[in-house]
Amino acid sequence: MTDQPIAMVIHGGAGPLKSRDYSREVDHMRALIEAGRERLNAGAAALDVVVDTIVALEASGLYVAGRGASPNSDGLYELDASLMDGPTRRAGAVAALAGYASPITAARAVMEHTPHVLLAGNGAAAFAAARGLEAIADPAAWFTHAWRDPGKTAAELATGTVGCLALDRSGALAAGTSTGGVFGKMPGRVGDSPIPGAGVWADDAVAVSCTGAGEMFIRAAVAAQVAFRVRFGGETLARATDAALAEVKALNGDGGLIALTARGELVMPYNSAGMKRAALYPDGRIVSAVF
Ligand code: ASP
């Protein structure tokens, strides 16, 4: 047994509607946190836990990522995802990837099997094909089309990104983010989610994953800003994340983020109506909530 704490955080997107019942999402996130706790306790690497958790979030169809993604203005699904490994700062990402079931798996492959950080569009798809990643044979059958549910509004569908952070027994942090982007986006539009420093970050001290109005998160460099406020500014995690979200607000954006330090401090702030989120704290406490 070591003194190194383990911890884990998930988000399932900002912008939920007060009128909806999110009990399925809350239960799902809690189950993923419990599964992650078992693995982290058994010595699993943060990077593996982050990827596997996001694969499950994508596959569930409960969030606006993976199977639950919403289409662009042409009716096509272009997905973004990113992954970052804290100790090495290796990163991998895909943007506007069409035709593949798990964007986070593609992001990991970019990190591990190319000299690059970010592959986009046709190049990303060609790479996914070359790696033999699972293709979507029939998009009409694959995607859950939650956006057609009359109970869902464009506002809600606009922000359903998923993210996961983990801190493992070796003290390593990892971060990942995956999204369908914003509902009705222009073809080729890429948000903050696949951009290290904007929608994702992990170094040896801090890990961050964001959700919300992606353009403003890019313009405020939210994920890097949080990490650098802590690293160079000596700010607490709570103060750093509040300040970064205040910059998003000043740009007329809303959303939220999850952030975790290598000491096991974690926060889940948002300035939207709510944020699907769940956490395992170092003392073993588990929280899963939307509002
Ligand atoms: N940040 C994402 C994007 O702009 C959207 C979201 O968080 O739901 O693509």
Instruction: Quote the CA–CA distance of 99 and 252 in Å, as a whole number.
Output: 33
Ligand 1, residues at Cβ distance < 6 Å = 13, 64, 159-161, 179, 181-182, 191-193, 199, 211-212, 214, 255
For residue 212, pLDDT over 50 is answered with yes
Residues 3-28, mean pLDDT to the nearest whole number: 91
For residue 195, pLDDT over 80 is answered with yes
Q: In this structure, which residue's CA is closest to atom 4 in ligand 1?
A: 214
Give the β-pairing of 7-14 and 162-167: antiparallel
Which CATH superfamily does the domain covering 7-289 fall into? (Glycosyl)asparaginase (3.60.20.30)
| Higher pLDDT among residues 192 and 184, named by residue | 192
Q: How confident is the model at residue 16 (pLDDT cuts 50, 70, 90)?
A: confident
**Nearest Cα to Cα of residue 161 among 179, 134, 138:** 179
pTM (predicted TM-score): 0.96
Q: In this structure, which residue's CA is closest to atom 7 in ligand 1?
A: 211
Which one of the listed residues 53, 105, 161, 211 is annotated catalytic? 161
Closest ligand 1 atom to 64 CA: 8
- How far is ligand 1, taken at its centre, from the CA of residue 145, in Å? 17
Decide if 161 is catalytic: yes
Distances (CA, A) of 186 to 71, 130, 170, 272: 10, 27, 42, 23
Q: In this structure, which residue's CA is closest to atom 8 in ligand 1?
A: 159
Averaged confidence pLDDT in the chain: 94
- What are the domain boundaries of the chain? 7-289
Burial (CB count <10 Å: 0-12, 13-18, 19+), residue 216: buried
- How far is ligand 1, taken at its centre, from the CA of residue 158, in Å? 7
- How far is ligand 1, taken at its centre, from the CA of residue 182, in Å? 6
Q: How confident is the model at residue 147 (pLDDT cuts 50, 70, 90)?
A: low
pLDDT tens for each residue of 217-270: 999 999 999 999 999 999 999 999 999 999 999 999 999 999 999 999 999 999
pLDDT of residue 21: 87
**Cβ-proximal residues to 201 (8 Å cutoff; 6+ apart), any chain:** 84, 175, 207, 208, 223, 224, 226, 227
Cβ–Cβ under 8 Å, residues 191 and 215: yes
- How far is ligand 1, taken at its centre, from the CA of residue 170, in Å? 31
